[in-house]
Amino acid sequence: MAYKQVKHMGCLKQKNCFEGDIKNLRPFFDQSMDYKVLARPTPMPGLINDSALGKPLPQRLFPSAPPFRKFCSGTTLRCMLPERSLDVALQTVYVDPSSVKERHRSHRSEDLEESLLLPFPAATRRPRFASMAGTGVFQEILDGDVYKYYADGEWKTSSSGKSVSILNPATRQVQYKVQACTQEEVNKIFESAKAAQKLWAKVPLWKRAEALHKAAALLKEHKAPMAECLVKEVAKPAKDAVSEVVRSGDLISYTAEEGVRILSEGKFLVSDSFPGNERNKLCLSSKIPLGVVLAIPPFNYPVNLAVSKISPALIAGNAVVLKPPTQGAVAGLHMVHCFHLAGFPKGLLSCVTGKGSEIGDFLTMHPGVNCISFTGGDTGIAISKKASMVPLQMELGGKDACIVLEDADLDLAAANVVKGGYSYSGQRCTAVKVVLAIESIADELVSKVNAKIAKLTVGLPENNADITAVVSESSANFIEGLVEDAKEKGATFCQEYRREGNLIWPLLVDHVRPGMRLAWEEPFGPVLPVIRISTAEEGIHHCNANNFALQGCVFTRDINKAILISNAMETGTVQINSAPARGPDHFPFQGLRDSGIGSQGITNSINMMTKVKSTVINLPFPSYTMG
Ligand SMILES: NC(=O)C1=CN([C@@H]2O[C@H](COP(=O)(O)OP(=O)(O)OC[C@H]3O[C@@H](n4cnc5c(N)ncnc54)[C@H](OP(=O)(O)O)[C@@H]3O)[C@@H](O)[C@H]2O)C=CC1
Ligand SMILES: O=C(O)[C@H](O)COP(=O)(O)O
């Protein structure tokens, strides 16, 4: 029998997401219809029993004739299978078209033409997300199945009539859609940002801080839907997704407190310390806002790296225009809504959505921009060449080297290599991206690392797998290119290279040599090269020869050696006996060379989003205090 693929039916309106035992789906289906339903497990061998692929679901899971009734578009139906042996996510349901005829009349035909996506994994546990993205207080940010953009204190639909699709990295199906904003809309946003900023700069610091604290509390209160977006848009493991939101709330609160302190301080200088002057000039200098800050975060921390730009900008009296990464845009829009709910003045914070490749240049070269705070890849280098005379805060790529010396605690080093190299599947700018191990301990280190890699789980972010799909197919292809190059040039693979869709199994590549791309390029995936070195100097040389210079780390029990190596490594930060990391978020964070311009970290970001203004009081005669 020929089965017809039935796309997108969503589910009940009142309860627009259902999660539970598949048996509970029964009431939603029309029992009188004689449908045959086949479910195809999600194509993730390894998670499922391969023999189940393409086979009909056992009838007891889909009893008698299960198809549907009452569906509305734009919603996702989720289900969990009760049996671990069938640990699969239903992805597509095929329905025998002849049996659909009757139903066809009573439903919009496109409902039946679209697909019933059940993209979530089987798991025998309770639903993880209490409230869902785009529901409850977040309902107003959604227009049909397209998320709105935010301008002038309102959620709006773009006049372009176009949307940008966001693919779920794990299922490779369209998960969300956002507005493709027009240049006219961007112009209006900058106009209102400029006006709002002038008023905001007059709002007392303590009130700005109060509003930020409110936003932080709202963000934490609504962590579930935001974490859900991070799981679906960027395949962030569920636990890490929640941590990202909570960390972001903490970052906002800390910024409010730090801002109140450091922005209340200025400088008072007297003129007679400079040769030839007497004390007849008194200089008062203070930090003032830059104006409108354009914030562009990357996909891997779309909430955290957005608030790390928004909150210092706002506390310092600036307005912000946010352009979220396309993968991660919906998490970003939910975050922006928390600022909206906190009651910030209209126009002060806006959010423009659309593809960076289409709207990016217009934004970064816009005359209304007074500062660009960007985190991402080489795009940042291009932006720095195009931007006009405005301050730039750039956090770009990294190839963080991990130097392991002969006297290192190898268990500690191995644990950090695995945590640093493979957490969030290596998609962190601060990930360990090359291990430089002294030859005499390299075998032991590699074997300890391999033992830990064997314990990493690979699968779906909803299941908190350690290794999840990388963000996109092009990213997976790029990683594969690096792997193939290393293979061709004779590197040793400690595990078999394995890829399913965007999911790449963790791989340690030993005996990498300088002629291989993996020695220099950042995979931004779960693939880590090991280069064997004879001396620490060789490691330092390799680290310094790279254009990337974000962080690095060294493992040794000799603190004197560690300090010498730290000083010799020309990177923004060196960690001694730990993997590279940006956090805690108030630490200075910066890249040298192609890894960035300026410095982040809460205090540094506040300072970067201000300029210094001086007022000089000129006295007609010198005046000294006598004590
Ligand atoms: N140093 C650091 O702190 C970090 C560095 N990174 C680096 O970022 C890279 C991966 O992140 P990824 O998001 O893919 O980086 P990209 O540079 O591709 O994108 C970053 C942001 O820039 C936007 N963008 C794209 N084109 C333009 C343009 N012409 N003008 C303005 N904005 C544009 C993107 O939007 P859109 O998504 O719509 O294309 C996105 O919001 C890696 O190289 C990684 O090392 C990542 C995180 C932190
Ligand atoms: O973008 C990144 O990768 C982050 O800035 C790294 O942050 P983390 O070190 O705290 O994970």
Nearest CA to ligand 2 atom 9: 581
Residue 468 structure tokens: 């999840």
pLDDT for res 131 = 61
Residues constituting the chain: 627
> How far is Cα 42 from Cα 88, in angstroms, rounded to an integer?
6
- Residue 273 three-state SS: helix
For tokens 């479910």, name the residue. 39
- Of the listed 19, 185, 244, 395, which one is catalytic? 395
DSSP per residue, 447-493: HHHHHHHTT--BS-GGGT-SB---S-HHHHHHHHHHHHHHHHTTPEE
Atom of ligand 2 nearest to the CA of 580: 9
Provide CB contacts within 8 A for 134, sequence distance 6+.
141, 142, 147, 225, 330
Residue 422 structure tokens: 């493979």
Q: What is the pTM of this model?
A: 0.82
List average pLDDT for each run of 10 residues in the chain, which is 627 residues long: 33 29 38 35 33 40 34 32 31 36 33 29 38 92 97 98 98 98 98 98 98 98 98 98 98 98 97 98 98 98 98 98 98 98 98 98 98 97 95 97 98 98 98 98 98 98 98 98 98 98 98 98 98 98 98 98 98 98 97 97 98 98 94
pLDDT for res 42 = 37
**Separation of 52 CA from ligand 2 center, angstroms?**
39
> How far is Cα 550 from Cα 183, in angstroms, rounded to an integer?
34
Residue from 429, 548, 550 to probe ligand 2 pocket by mutation (most atoms less than 8 Å from CB):
429
Q: ipTM above 0.85? A: yes
> How far is Cα 624 from Cα 272, in angstroms, rounded to an integer?
10
C-beta neighbour count of 54 within 10 angstroms = 10
DSSP state for residue 121 in the 8-state scheme: P
> How far is Cα 300 from Cα 380, in angstroms, rounded to an integer?
15
Residue 460 structure tokens: 């779906």
Pocket of ligand 1 (CB under 6 A): 296, 298-300, 323, 325-326, 355-357, 360-361, 364, 375-377, 379, 383, 395-398, 429, 522, 524, 550, 591
Provide CB contacts within 8 A for 331, sequence distance 6+.
226, 229, 230, 233, 234, 302, 303, 324
For tokens 């500690």, name the residue. 412
User: In the annotation, is 140 catalytic?
Assistant: no
Q: What are the residue ranges of helices labelled H in 61-132?
A: 101-106, 109-113
Distance between start and end Cα atoms, the chain:
101
> How far is Cα 596 from Cα 393, in angstroms, rounded to an integer?
7
Helix axes 379-386, 356-364, angle to 10 degrees: 30
Peptide bond into 584 cis (omega under 30): yes
